[in-house]
Amino acid sequence: MTSVDTLDQVSEILSHAEKKCVARGVRLTDKRKLVLSSLLQMNKAVSAYDIVDYCKKQLGEIVPAMSVYRILDFLQEQQLVHKLNLVNKYVACCEIACDHSHEVSQFLICSSCHKVKEIKLGKITEAELRRDVEEAGFKLVSPQLEINCLCEECVKASN
Amino acid sequence: MTSVDTLDQVSEILSHAEKKCVARGVRLTDKRKLVLSSLLQMNKAVSAYDIVDYCKKQLGEIVPAMSVYRILDFLQEQQLVHKLNLVNKYVACCEIACDHSHEVSQFLICSSCHKVKEIKLGKITEAELRRDVEEAGFKLVSPQLEINCLCEECVKASN
DNA sequence: TTTTCAAATGTTATGATATAACATAACACT
DNA sequence: AGTGTTATGTTATATCATAACATTTGAAAA
């Protein structure tokens, strides 16, 4: 994948995101686009401060960390971004460009490079999960699962 | 469950933990016992600084935060304590008193009060999880799952 | 059009979690 | 007692996150 392809994809996804925001009556401002665009370009789980650095060094834009946190909150509300609590990092949703409504996701997080893959577990698995949780007397709040993994490249690199 | 019962259980578990450490040729020092004992008495997921406070206020012992972190690392290596990355808190392993070797755990974490229940998922669920992860081209590092839930009391309290 | 209100962003301070680096103390083995 | 290793103490700092208040921007009413 070339750099141009990537940038094309980014602006494609950004315009989808903007449509979704318009449809919901909220504004995807320039700063918000900047943050989302950074997340898309970095293409892995990053911290709020990583975004600040990326904006400054790669895009020549100064964004206060406080603003990044607020914008990340907004983007999460709009289901454009997920927070990965396992590693205290943020990642763009893989389904921004889809029209169907958003399902709950499971995240495979590479412990080594923080690359993230968002997958759907099989139906049986989620049903069983819910059953096991309720048997234990708890109520499932969010079936979002965050799973410590290694991606293929990092597995190879460690050999 | 009365307070005395609880304290009896704590010292019972501590002596199991000590046996395990002796068997492995490592030392469960007084400070380490203090930290493990605090975790057992608090009986929920707590931060390192919560442990510092508990030691000071409830047990009259001053333990520097730095020491608590080191001791938590040690206790994790000995599989006496788990770190819950989802909430950046620590909890005593529920199986310290068991003799059989330790399996991988799933944690139900109450988002409201941080009570934690450690459960085993059904075999099919774990096998499916592993299959789904590997189909996605990742390698499962730790099938430890941390799941956002509400415990019964907090569900009731929110009604 | 300008006034006005709400939303967005900026600014500063601080809290919460965690680790690095080096010093000292305790223990265990000669 | 001497020596090396392990454990703990101490200080500083990195990293992640929010609170509180000021300013700016944008959109809609007057």
CATH number of A47's domain: 1.10.10.10
Least confident of B9-13, B111-115, B133-137: B111-115
Q: Is B98 on the interface with A (CB under 8 A)?
A: no
pLDDT score, position B143: 78
Single residue among B44, B66, B92 that ends a domain in this structure: B92
Q: Is A153 on the interface with B (CB under 8 A)?
A: no
Query: Which bases of strand D sit closer than 7 A to a protein CB?
Result: 6-12, 15-20, 27
B19 and B76 together in one domain: yes
Chain-centre distance for alpha carbon B140: 21
pLDDT score, position B144: 84
| Cβ-Cβ contacts under 8 Å, B107 against chain A | none
Spatial distance between the Cα atoms of B14 and A147, rounded to a whole number of angstroms: 31
Give yes or no for a contact between B112 and A125, defined as CB atoms under 8 angstroms apart: no
Query: Which candidate, B141, B34, B87, places its Cα nearest to that of A83?
Result: B87
Residue-number span of the structural domain to which A139 is assigned:
106-157
Spatial distance between the Cα atoms of A77 and B36, rounded to a whole number of angstroms: 39
The total of other beta-carbon atoms located within 10 Å of residue A64's CB is: 10
Q: Which residue has the higher pLDDT, A95 or B113?
A: B113
Q: Which residue has the higher pLDDT, A104 or B7?
A: B7
Q: Is B132 on the interface with A (CB under 8 A)?
A: yes
pLDDT at B5 exceeding the cut of 80: no
B11 and B39 together in one domain: yes
pLDDT at B115 exceeding the cut of 80: yes
Query: Which range has highest mean pLDDT (B33-37, B100-104, B117-121, B140-144)?
Result: B33-37
| Cβ-Cβ contacts under 8 Å, A151 against chain B | 137-139
Query: Which range has highest mean pLDDT (A131-135, A151-155, B12-16, B153-157)?
Result: B12-16
Which of B111, B138, B152 minimises the CB distance to A149?
B138
A126 and A75 together in one domain: no
B13 and B62 together in one domain: yes
Residue B83 lies in a domain: yes
pLDDT score, position A3: 57
Please report the sign of the dihedral spanned by the C-alpha atoms of residue B113, residue A84, residue A119, residue A115.
negative
Which of A106, A108, A133 minimises the CB distance to B149?
A133
B86 and B8 together in one domain: yes
Write the CA distances from A2 to A5, A37, A58, A132, integer angstroms: 5, 17, 17, 45
The predicted model scores a pTM of: 0.89
Spatial distance between the Cα atoms of A13 and A40, rounded to a whole number of angstroms: 9
pLDDT score, position A119: 85
- What percentage of chain B carries pLDDT values higher than 70? 90
Minimal Cα–Cα distance from A157 to chain B, Å?
13
Write the CA distances from A39 to A46, A57, A82, A91, integer angstroms: 8, 14, 11, 6
Amino acid letter for position A154: C
Q: How many domains does chain B have?
A: 2
